[in-house]
Amino acid sequence: MSESVLIVGAGNGLSASFARLCHSNGMRVMLAARNIDKLAALAKETDASVVACDASDPGDVERMFVNADESIGTPDIVVYNPSTSARGPVSEIDKNAVRDALLITCYGGFLVVQEAAKRMLARGTGSLLLTGASASVKGFANSSSFAMGKFGLRGLAQSSARELAPRGIHVAHFVIDGVIRCQGSDGGNDGKLDPDAIAQSYLDIHRQHRSAWTWEAELRPWVENF
Amino acid sequence: MSESVLIVGAGNGLSASFARLCHSNGMRVMLAARNIDKLAALAKETDASVVACDASDPGDVERMFVNADESIGTPDIVVYNPSTSARGPVSEIDKNAVRDALLITCYGGFLVVQEAAKRMLARGTGSLLLTGASASVKGFANSSSFAMGKFGLRGLAQSSARELAPRGIHVAHFVIDGVIRCQGSDGGNDGKLDPDAIAQSYLDIHRQHRSAWTWEAELRPWVENF
Amino acid sequence: MSESVLIVGAGNGLSASFARLCHSNGMRVMLAARNIDKLAALAKETDASVVACDASDPGDVERMFVNADESIGTPDIVVYNPSTSARGPVSEIDKNAVRDALLITCYGGFLVVQEAAKRMLARGTGSLLLTGASASVKGFANSSSFAMGKFGLRGLAQSSARELAPRGIHVAHFVIDGVIRCQGSDGGNDGKLDPDAIAQSYLDIHRQHRSAWTWEAELRPWVENF
Amino acid sequence: MSESVLIVGAGNGLSASFARLCHSNGMRVMLAARNIDKLAALAKETDASVVACDASDPGDVERMFVNADESIGTPDIVVYNPSTSARGPVSEIDKNAVRDALLITCYGGFLVVQEAAKRMLARGTGSLLLTGASASVKGFANSSSFAMGKFGLRGLAQSSARELAPRGIHVAHFVIDGVIRCQGSDGGNDGKLDPDAIAQSYLDIHRQHRSAWTWEAELRPWVENF
């Protein structure tokens, strides 16, 4: 029986690379996004199911997992990517946009972890891979809402790792510390992260033996200041 | 002209100790809480104004600051204490309780920082003191919602510190790493944090010269494992 | 009976400010440095004993504490400041200079902590205040030997804090994240750390109640990028 | 032309697993240890050169690299494993043992990084893989010398990563957070780290594309408290 993967927040970039890598490794793939219009080509290329889902909506997330139950079964891997933010001075940014950012970036991560954990715990295995950013570990000026969401998601990841690892679920958080290059561009001499390279590290960590799990890894271009 | 302090999330413990300490240092005091019934004695003792405020409600927070404008002026110090959490396995905790926890613990912090920053930036000085916990820097099992909220608040604090410090506003985050002892109890040979001792450190950090500011300090009992 | 302080690595800047602050608070002061010629004026001003000591030499450190036993008694506070480094590319810096840097910055800290701990444990109280730098928590390019020494000193501080705090000894590590301004200069609008301000925070942390101790605090100018 | 690897501090466990993994991937292998008597079987199994080296001795380290120049060429991978410590209360441990621990665990790492960097910079590629421990990021009671050495090595790794990454050298630090199981034992239901699993993660990180490098990864058993 082949493995399966659910990618929440699918689009271009990392999620597309990871979908292709999983597909080429024989996994069944499911793609979820708020707007699924853009996913047709990727879904075709990776033989993927597609489901529309606002990750900050509890009902949507529950329906997405019921849909997964039917189409790919309990996923072996669930990836959580979505984030938004309201950029600008903390004294000026829109209150509603900050709230939405927190709900999508962090609360949505919880909703997905919860539904995935229910299923993975019943089976006793699975990997939950949460996508962070530089802002997960460093709060930058004029970026408070992004820091709130990404720090919060990291807290979820660390708490869930402590809780779920001893029950067989591998939770890993990735600090993507740089700009991901667009598919087809040259990445400026590798000064931007190649999404295929990120995807390979996601798969490497999924493949780790349970006696030697990583809960967090940062990834950055060789020339990136940090 | 004496200094003034607004304490959001006032009750017993740290907030009461800090109110008393500020009052005894000649500051005007304003106390805010969702439920203000419990604040009568403390308000009387510290000559404080009292205002009801759900810190996760934008309108409430705006009204609280308008109220402060009239009663104590732009505060020299604003303290943010509120938090809630939904304790239990990440696969079982109530989705709505998690959402509320995130909004009160983290989003409420943003609302208060925003309104305070608007006023403090106009004056060019002020201290924003945000109360964290062990869960601000370590995500414990069965405590995912608390980790989400407290990590997120720390991200807000760090981002705001980087943004506001060069404009004269001192943002500091406190990692309270232990149990705060109840007023009047003996603290088990100082095995729990004395709220008066915490309050002194809050004031010490407010009093720091701007050439040597601390953005984060942890406080724990001498006998606490960490 | 008044308190006493031993400042290892005394010179200008922070150590001089702290000596003056302790003296003005009624403490007996002892100053130690490799080269004590420069200490005459400060010693006179603070009624201090002076002792020559190469902090990386076990015999010197033992003799310094024997000297302290006789002149100021077991110190209530011991400060450790010394550091050296070999600046330059890791592929080019002088091997002997790196070794010396590690021995002075880190091993000397151990020697001082050990002798101080022996005495403080017998009494059951005392503060060990270790001076770190930006390099204590961030390893910069072309600064490997400084990172090695200061990271190592921080490891000593954290381990000693965990070990000695439950026995009554307060170990605190200070991350001085910026340039300390020279005595008498204006500090460029407080863009450099005022050594008197740092000294005040050292004393504040010494004065903390044992139910709410800080083991680490960073200090930086309001305008410093971090 | 096949890749080559130099493993400093070779013995059983991780180093043996990594030697085998590299050999099975077609690399030329060189093994270095203070005592090489124990390496005969592993050397035969992996067609490896063997060299005696006290990693804390500058002359020994230089000779080791000259030896490597002749036998395996400039290594594509250099691994640094050695560490010692003096376990016990900070007030009681032997001063000389602490000094030796610092020199072997940390200074030896510098000596090896320096000689490796000289050669790798000339070529423009290479991986420097430094082995840390729980004590690299957490200073435990009664373990001050181990914390000093391992924190210091981490400082070296981080500084070197910032300095060398933009010149093509991948520096990575591994926090081995648990006990490595002995070859042939069952690891208690994977409660100890399988050295083959660690070795795989070392190789995965060596294989990362330079647009997405990890500078630090922790590895721990699924059931390990952290």
Q: Which DSSP string do the residues of chain D spell out, in sequence order?
A: ---EEEEES-SSTHHHHHHHHHHHTT-EEEEEES--GGGHHHHHHTT-EEEE--TT-HHHHHHHHHHHHHHT-S-SEEEE-------S-TTTS-HHHHHHHHIIIIIHHHHHHHHHHHHHHHHT-EEEEEEEEGGGT---TT-HHHHHHHHHHHHHHHHHHHHHGGGTEEEEEEEE-SPBPPTTS-HHHHTSB-HHHHHHHHHHHHHS-GGGB-SEEEEB-TT---
Which residues from chain C sit within 8 angstroms of residue D144, using beta carbons? 110, 113, 155-156, 159-160, 163
Report pLDDT digits (tens) over B19-53.
999 999 999 999 999 999 999 999 999 999 999 99
Give Cα A190 to chain centroid, integer Å.
Answer: 22
Q: Is the Cβ pair C170, B222 closer than 8 Å?
A: yes
Please, is A168 exposed, middle or buried when counting C-beta atoms within 10 Å of its C-beta (0-12, 13-18, 19+)?
middle
State pLDDT tens for residues B159-178.
999 999 999 999 999 999 99
Q: Assign D184 a pLDDT band (cuts: 50, 70, 90).
A: confident
- Amino acid code (one letter) for B61: V
Q: Which of D61, D134, D156 to mutate to test the interface with C (most CBs of C within 10 A)?
A: D156
- Strands D49-52 and D28-33, by their bridges, are parallel
pLDDT at A54: 98
Of D93, D121, D155, the CB nearest to C151: D155
Q: How far apart are CA D173 and CA D158, in angstroms?
A: 8
Contact across the interface for D140 and C152, Cβ inside 8 Å: no
Closest by CA to D14, choosing from D216, D212, D200, D206, is D200
Q: Do D139 and C161 touch (CB under 8 A)?
A: yes
pLDDT band at C184 (very low <50, low <70, confident <90, very high): confident
Q: Which residues of A touch D223 (CB under 8 A)?
A: 165-166
pLDDT in tens, D105-131: 999 999 999 999 999 999 999 999 999
**Domain D4-219 sits in CATH 3.40.50.720:** yes
pLDDT (tens digit, 9 = 90+) per residue, C131-160?
999 999 999 999 999 999 999 999 999 999
Answer yes or no: are the C-beta atoms of A209 and D190 closer than 8 Å: yes
pLDDT band at C203 (very low <50, low <70, confident <90, very high): very high
User: If DSSP codes are grouped into helix, strand and coil, which group holds residue B79?
Assistant: strand
Name chain C's partners: 3 or more CB pairs within 8 A.
B, D
> D17 CB contacts (<8 Å, ≥6 apart)?
D183, D195, D196, D198, D199
Residue contact C110–D144, C-beta within 8 A: yes
Cβ-Cβ pairs closer than 8 A, B with C, add up to 107
Which of A83, A136, A151 is best to mutate for the B interface (most B CBs within 10 A)?
A151
User: Which residue in B89, B155, B161 is closest to A163 by CB distance?
Assistant: B89
| Beta carbons of C212 and B198 less than 8 Å apart | yes
The C-alpha torsion from D40 through D44 and D46 to D51, rounded to 10°, is 40
In chain A, whose CA is at the least distance from the CA of B58?
Answer: A95
- 8 Å CB contact between B83 and B149: yes
What was the pLDDT predicted at B153? 98
Residue A184's pLDDT band, with cuts at 50, 70 and 90, is confident
d(CA C8, CA A105) in angstroms, rounded, equals: 49
pLDDT at B187 over 80: no
Q: Quick check: helix, strand or coil at residue A184? A: coil
pLDDT digits (tens, 9 = 90+) for B51-81: 999 999 999 999 999 999 999 999 999 999 9
Smallest Cα–Cα separation from A118: which of A130, A105, A128? A128
Smallest CA–CA distance from C134 into chain D, residue: D155
User: What is the per-residue pLDDT for C188?
Assistant: 77
Evaluate the CA torsion angle C90, D103, C58, C173 in order and state its sign. positive
**Core vs surface per residue C11-45: b (16+ CB within 10 A) or e:** bebbbbbbbbbbbeeebbbbbbbeebeebeebbee
Q: Do C209 and B194 touch (CB under 8 A)?
A: yes
Complex ipTM more than 0.95, yes or no: yes
A28 has which bridge partners? A4
The reply to whether residue B140 touches residue A162, judged by beta carbons under 8 angstroms, is yes
Mutate to test the interface with D, among A128, A219, A222 (most CBs of D within 10 A): A222
- Tell me if the pTM is above 0.95: yes
Token pair for residue C147? 């990172």
pLDDT reading at D187 higher than 80: no
D212 and A218 in contact by Cβ < 8 A?
no
Distance from CA of D185 to the nearest CA of A (A): 13
pLDDT per residue over B112-171, tens digit each?
999 999 999 999 999 999 999 999 999 999 999 999 999 999 999 999 999 999 999 999
Q: Which helix (H) or strand (E) holds B118?
A: helix B108-123
Cα distance between residue A163 and residue B93, in whole Å = 13
Q: Which of C190, C210, C211 sits opposite B211 (nearest CB)?
A: C190
Tell me how far apart the alpha carbons of residues B73 and B30 are, in angstroms, rounded to a whole number.
10
Nearest CB to B201; choose among C193, C212, C224: C212
**Is there a contact between D29 and D211 (Cβ–Cβ < 8 Å)?**
no
CA distance readout (Å), B24 to B4, B27, B31, B48 = 12, 7, 15, 12
How many residue contacts between A and B have a Cβ separation below 8 Å?
A: 155
With CB atoms and an 8 Å threshold, state whether D91 touches C118.
yes
Return all residues near C1 (Cβ < 8 A) that are at least 6 apart.
Answer: none
Give contacts of B117 with chain A, Cβ < 8 Å.
90-91
Q: What is the pLDDT of residue A99?
A: 98
Name the minimum distance, in Å, from the CA of B212 to any CA of chain A: 19
Average pLDDT over residues A116-124: 98
pLDDT at C193: 96
Tokens 């809480």, residue?
B33
How many C-beta atoms surround the C-beta of residue D142 within 10 A?
Answer: 15
With contact defined as 3+ CB pairs under 8 Å, the chains touching B are A, C
The CA-atom distances, in angstroms, between C90 and each of A10, B55, C86, D96, D124 are 43, 51, 9, 27, 15
Nearest C-alpha neighbor of C111 from the set D102, A84, B112: D102
Tell me the chain C residues in contact with residue B226 when contact means C-beta distances shorter than 8 Å: 162, 215
Residue B167 exposed, middle or buried by CB count within 10 Å (0-12, 13-18, 19+): middle
Q: What Cα–Cα distance (Å) separates residue D119 from each residue in A167, C193, D32, D62, D208?
A: 46, 41, 18, 12, 21
- pLDDT at residue C32, rounded to an integer: 98
pLDDT band at B186 (very low <50, low <70, confident <90, very high): confident
Instruction: Give the least confident one: A11-15, B123-127, B215-219, D108-112.
Output: A11-15
Instruction: Round to whole Å and give the CA distance between C41 and C47.
Output: 10
Longest dimension (CA), chain C: 54
Q: Which of B201, B210, B222 faces C210 most closely, judged by CB atoms? A: B222
User: pLDDT band for position C186 (50/70/90)?
Assistant: confident
Query: How many CB pairs below 8 Å do chains C and D form together?
Result: 156
Q: Quick one: closest CA in B to C221, which residue?
A: B211
pLDDT of residue A195: 97
Tokens coding D211: 């647009």
Which chain A residue has the Cα nearest residue B165?
A141
C147/D139 CB distance under 8 A = no
Task: Look at residue A1 and tell me whether its pLDDT is greater than 90.
Answer: no
Chain A CB contacts of B159 under 8 Å are: 90, 139-144, 146-148
Nearest to C33 by CA among C9, C68, C65: C9
Predicted pLDDT of residue B184 = 74
Kindly identify which residue of chain A lies nearest to residue B97, measuring between CA atoms. A107
Phi, psi (deg, nearest 5) at residue B14: -50, -45
% of residues, chain C, pLDDT over 90: 94
